[in-house]
Amino acid sequence: MNPLREDIRSSLVQAGQEACGYMNCKLFVQTVVGIPQLDALPSRPFRSIGDLVSGDVLKWGTGQHWAIYIGGGDIMEVEEWGAESRIVPLAEILEEIDPPDTVFSTVTPQREVLLRECIRELLTEAAKGPADLPGRIVIHIFEDGNSTRITYAKPIKKQGSGWLYGRSKRPSGIIEIFRPGSIEDDGPCGDAWQVGMSAASPGWGPLLYDVAMEWATLNGGGLVSDRAIVSLEAQDVWEYYMNNRGDVTGIQMDDLDNTLTPEEEDNCNQHSAERMGPEGINWQDSPLSKRWTKPPTGMSTLRKLGKLVES
């Protein structure tokens, strides 16, 4: 695995696709992560899916089965000798078999520091903007009940006076956000939309986040991170917003116990802010504890360029 990639999941998936030969589950994991002595890695008992981070190696029993957690609730595995690798939600696996016994960490502290430095460099130097969208590629905003998906898309078929759009592969990217109040246990969160999942080609993630934040500001109280778990890559996006972007506004939210204010409207589950990010900081200092708003400057530019489609 190349630790210099912006997106750990993309790196793992690519390594899995490139792994070839007649392999069992353990050999596949060793090949993908590039670490032959898996049992020598830092380990901990499996607690929950929310406790996992991208790159964690999962071991069942004394080695009856091995898999790699790639983020977003998914694992990558080889089911049996000679089988093709597959990506499957871990929750589905846990409905059929017992949970893994051991979790091994492949992202060591030194490696994490290196990865964070590289992600910050990519955010500042390689982040793409509206003018970088190639050819007929657009950003497509699709509202679907309690969620809205924002993707890179391309026209695939004429439909009446317009076009039917499908997801683009180059660049590829999606961010899905959920309507305020659709996840009851998380609180009102200031009427902000919540990120459910995101993935993008290297350099193309921040533009989707910008559009999501602008759209969520126009249609609610802005944007908040996932309230349960946030990937390393996404943490750095939020930290970059807080520390380097003067065109966004972070509004502090309370926890569910009214620690900061007596009002209920700003209450929000702060699990991700309490558990993610650097050790030793108060949850109130984390960008994950805030809702973020942004004026629709990016969407306006995309419209002028003919690069924004809403449906």
DSSP string across 198-228:
EEESTT-HHHHHHHHHHHHHHTSS-EE--SS
* Best CA proximity match to 6, nearest among 209, 290, 280: 209
Angle 230-122-219 from CA coordinates, rounded to 5°: 50
**Residue ranges of the alpha helices (H) in 185-309?**
205-218, 232-244, 271-275, 297-304
Give the chain's domains with CATH numbers.
8-107 (3.90.1720.10), 125-310 (no CATH)
Per residue of the chain (311 residues), give pLDDT as tens.
333 233 567 777 777 777 655 678 898 888 888 788 888 888 899 988 888 888 899 999 988 899 999 888 899 998 888 788 899 999 888 888 889 999 998 865 544 554 455 455 545 556 789 999 999 999 999 998 899 999 999 988 877 777 778 888 888 888 999 999 887 789 999 999 999 888 888 788 889 999 999 999 999 999 999 888 787 777 878 888 998 899 999 999 999 999 999 999 999 999 889 877 556 678 999 999 999 999 999 999 999 999 999 98
> With left for phi above 0 and alpha for psi between -120 and 50, is residue 280 left, alpha or beta?
left
Helices 297-304, 205-218: crossing angle, 10 deg rounding: 110
* Best CA proximity match to 172, nearest among 13, 3, 2: 13
Per-residue pLDDT tens for 157-183?
Answer: 877 777 778 888 888 888 999 999 887
SS (H, E, C) 123-190: HHHCCCCHHHCCCCCEEEEEEECCEEEEEEEEEEEEECCEEEEEECCCCCEEEEEECCCCCHHHCCHH
